[in-house]
Amino acid sequence: MKIMVILVCLMAPIISIRAQSPLKSGFALVNGMNMYFQIYGKGKPLVLIHGGGSTIETTFGRVIPLLAKHHQVIAVELQAHGRTNDRGTALSFEQDADDVIALLSHLKIDKADFLGFSNGGTTTLQIAIRHPKMVNKLVLASSLSKRNGVPAQFWDYMKQAALANMPQELKDAYLKVTADYAGLQIMHDRDAQRMLNFKDIPDVLMRSIKAPSLIINGDKDVILPEHALEMHRMLSNSELLIVPGVHGEYIEEVTTLKSNSYQAKFIIPLIEAFLDKL
């Protein structure tokens, strides 16, 4: 097992990252819904799975141009999120995992690397558990596998979750791509209920994951660094990277941009080095 602790200068010079248009985008009929996807770049497939309440752009908009230099990036939007419609059923990480794999089958991709952030990281764990033959390597960014992986007050907050308290950047982003306030409310409510229903992933299933894995966490993350360390010890073929900052700051997730830390230029090369390692 390998642990990396990276000290990133938070006053690093600002380096602009240009937005990039996808080579291909569209919808695929997946398990009873129209699932939206974007494809960038060329190379080995790398699937990006966004966080809860998010779109492709809010989670990965800043890092797609960097990743697409060396990978075929396939970014997806999960049920009720962004441009993907709601099929009228409760969300689950297991169903999201099956949906992503069905999309890859539609795209005729039989194996890929996966980068999941936050809820997308938990979906990525379920992909590795339920569809191990589809997995080359995993990047588990601020991922939750057990309820004690977040502070106890997180669960009290989820019991009182309200759309009014959702970050404005995420609300604006949803309405920008799907101008449907009712849909925004559905997304929020389904995400909140999913978290309230969340159960620990059993240790035996976690230990079944053999794919090389890079676990990334912020030292001030919603996900406790101690949980990231526990996951690292559970996954026999894993590396651990603890980065200064809050939830998603290391990939410049949209709600963290006001920090001006611009960590992606430091972190993406570390992710790529992991993915390229033989």
- Flag whether pLDDT at 162 surpasses 80: yes
Token readout for 91 is 């969300």
Tokens, residue 173: 């982003």
- Contact between 240 and 229 under an 8 Å Cβ cutoff? The reply is yes
- Domain 2-276 top-level CATH class: alpha beta
β-pairing, 112-117 vs 213-218, is unpaired
| Whole-number Å distance between alpha carbons of 59 and 41 | 18
pLDDT range class, residue 278, cuts 50, 70, 90: confident
Residues 6+ apart with CB under 8 A from 124: 49, 97, 114, 115, 116, 138, 139, 140, 143
Residue 136 contacts by C-beta under 8 Å, 6 or more apart in sequence? 44, 111, 112, 113, 211
- Please report, for residues 169, 246, 254, the alpha-carbon distance to residue 258 in angstroms, rounded to integers and kept in the order given: 11, 12, 9
Q: Please give the backbone phi and psi of residue 48, each rounded to the nearest 5 degrees, phi first.
A: -105, 130
Does residue 145 sit in helix, strand or coil?
coil
**Looking up tokens 């309405």, which residue turns up?**
175
Residues with Cβ < 8 Å from 191, sequence gap 6 or more?
52, 53, 91, 119
Mean pLDDT value across the chain: 94
User: How far apart, in whole angstroms, are the C-alpha atoms of residue 17 and residue 8?
Assistant: 18
From CA 3, how far away is CA 24, in angstroms rounded?
37
Q: Give the pLDDT of residue 176.
A: 97
Q: Which stretch of DSSP H or E encloses residue 170? A: helix 168-177
Report which DSSP code applies to 210.
-
| Band of residue 16 on the pLDDT scale cut at 50, 70, 90 | very low
* pLDDT band at 169; cut points 50, 70, 90: very high
Q: Is 60 exposed, middle or buried (0-12, 13-18, 19+ CB in 10 A)?
A: buried
Q: Where are the domains of the chain?
A: 2-276
Is residue 10 a contact partner of residue 259, using CB atoms and an 8 Å limit?
yes
Average pLDDT estimate for 55-69: 97
Q: Is 37 exposed, middle or buried (0-12, 13-18, 19+ CB in 10 A)?
A: buried
| 12-21, 123-132, 218-227, 246-255: the lowest-pLDDT one | 12-21
Given this model, what pLDDT does residue 145 score? 98
Residues near 116 by Cβ (< 8 Å), separated by ≥ 6?
48, 49, 122, 123, 124, 125, 127, 138, 139, 140, 141, 143
